[in-house]
Chain A
């Protein structure tokens, strides 16, 4: 744990250089969008809560893709070689990165969900926190696994943008799914983002396309599978060929 703590500390320290970029992508853009929504949708309070909760999950997708890119970087042969003689394992380094980005995304999620709660018809704070944490763990694990699949930060930047875009497009972040055709709804229900939304919105008093317990189960399974894949990938990391 001590080494993971040090890893988190230095990961955050290393992000100093990118503070403007982080401020823009994690705070300025989402909150500008939220501000525009507040201006344009004032009468429809339920919709405001719906969109703001969607924006929270959309931001988590953005932060998660950054984790994926960092993991793809850590799985590069040269970086593995750099870590070879340091007293921190690659697994600990990966965990440090994921936790550091999770910590970074918490303030933004808290503010956005706070705003969403303001216009919510009813709120269950405890379950809202549990649902958000569950979403963060499952989505970040998913991106970590993707980082191990790609293993090249340059390729990851392009591929992950496409994946993020697809995940956001085929999820009910900004639109309702109740009136959509069956097939399209089935596609949306296969998307982890839909389930992340479904672990948050019911606790802000919104109707859900399916029971929240199903989404918790879905995210739990997704998280476990992602962690399993990442652990297997860590054990089979190739540096020109397989590590042993």
Chain B
């Protein structure tokens, strides 16, 4: 867990990244990750999460600001950091003509591990991620989600003290997601983990602290439940009802207005609880033929948050 007194393993101070095209990908971003912590960077697509990670990895140079990894100056110690960081990139790349087992073997042999130790460690990581049945599959035969798991296995098998994961469970099925989350949790004992994600449930489940990034800036940070409360993720609800006017009346009673299209009513509830309460009330009032709940839209939640911030600023 976070220890404010200990020196951070990853320290990002006022980092700004401006691409040659003039695009500001990161704007004075600061964050820190301590030993034993799992820290999330949460944000919609294009928020600047991947750019920040690439700078921490040394793949991109910050325009301004400082990045310190493992208490060493980042620019000077990049080659040493290669041996400290396990990394899962966003892009689900793989070695198409190597099997899953050979890919892990390749990584372990590069780390100087051979023989029995190699077999033990490779088996352990495949078991931890529930990938035993894929061991003889070639990279080209794997689904995108499975490729992502192979990348995670490559990172985990190296036992690095710092693990950086860029959307580790994107395109991974729900069952495997849980397995992956458990494996990431176990990394807490190994060192620290930094996860970039736009999956609120993933961040809630795994992280001790979260940095919310929007348009290249950190707009909020705190414990996952604090961020979740701040966001109050909205839910889009679609109802097909036989008695439209009655249903509309019920919805208006909750302070919402539903848009009508044919016999469909669409509205956006502030939270899942609110939305379900209204569905129940409409069902009790005249019946519901069809319901569709669309998962919380992160982008929309962030827009709400920002507009709320702007409203507050104006009122002040």
Contact = CB atoms under 8 A, between A and B. Distances in A.
Interface of A: 2-3, 6, 10, 13-18, 78-82, 84-88, 239-244
Contacts of A10: 95, 98, 102, 106
A84 B160 CA distance: 14
B97 A81 contact: no
B283 interface: no
23 contacts: A2-B112, A10-B95, A10-B98, A10-B106, A13-B97, A13-B98, A13-B102, A14-B97, A16-B97, A17-B97, A17-B138, A17-B140, A78-B89, A84-B87, A85-B85, A85-B160, A87-B158, A88-B110, A242-B61, A243-B59, A243-B61, A244-B60, A244-B75
B60 to A, nearest CB: 7
Contacts of B155: 85
B249 interface: no
Nearest to B74: A244
Interface residues of B, number: 37
B104 to A, nearest CB: 12
B281 interface: no
A78 B89 CA distance: 8
B106 A6 contact: yes
Contacts, number: 82
A39 to B, nearest CB: 37
Given A78-B93, A242-B61, 20 more contacts: A6-B110, A10-B106, A13-B98, A14-B98, A78-B89, A78-B91, A79-B93, A81-B54, A82-B93, A84-B58, A84-B82, A84-B89, A85-B155, A87-B111, A88-B110, A239-B59, A240-B19, A241-B61, A243-B60, A243-B61
Interface in B86-138: 86-87, 89, 91, 93, 95-98, 102, 106-107, 109-112, 138
B20 interface: yes
Contacts of A244: 58, 60-61, 75, 78
A14 B95 CA distance: 8
B57 interface: yes
A58 B106 CA distance: 33
A6 B61 contact: no
Interface in B59-84: 59-61, 75, 78, 82-83
Contacts of A13: 97-98, 102
Contact of B60 (A6, A16, A79, A239): A239
Contacts of A6: 106, 109-110
Central interface residue in A80, A81, A241, by most chain B CB within 10 Å: A81
Contact of B20 (A18, A81, A241, A243): A241
A13 B85 CA distance: 27
A214 B168 CA distance: 56
A240 B57 CA distance: 14
Contacts of A86: 82, 107, 110, 154
A82 B75 contact: no
A239 B59 CA distance: 7
Contacts of A85: 57, 82, 85-87, 155, 158, 160, 164
Task: List the 7 shortest-distance A-B pairs measured between CB atoms, nearest first.
Answer: A85-B87, A14-B97, A17-B97, A244-B61, A81-B89, A78-B91, A87-B110
Nearest to A3: B110
B15 to A, nearest CB: 14
A218 to B, nearest CB: 36
A13 to B, nearest CB: 6
Contacts of B140: 17
B146 to A, nearest CB: 16
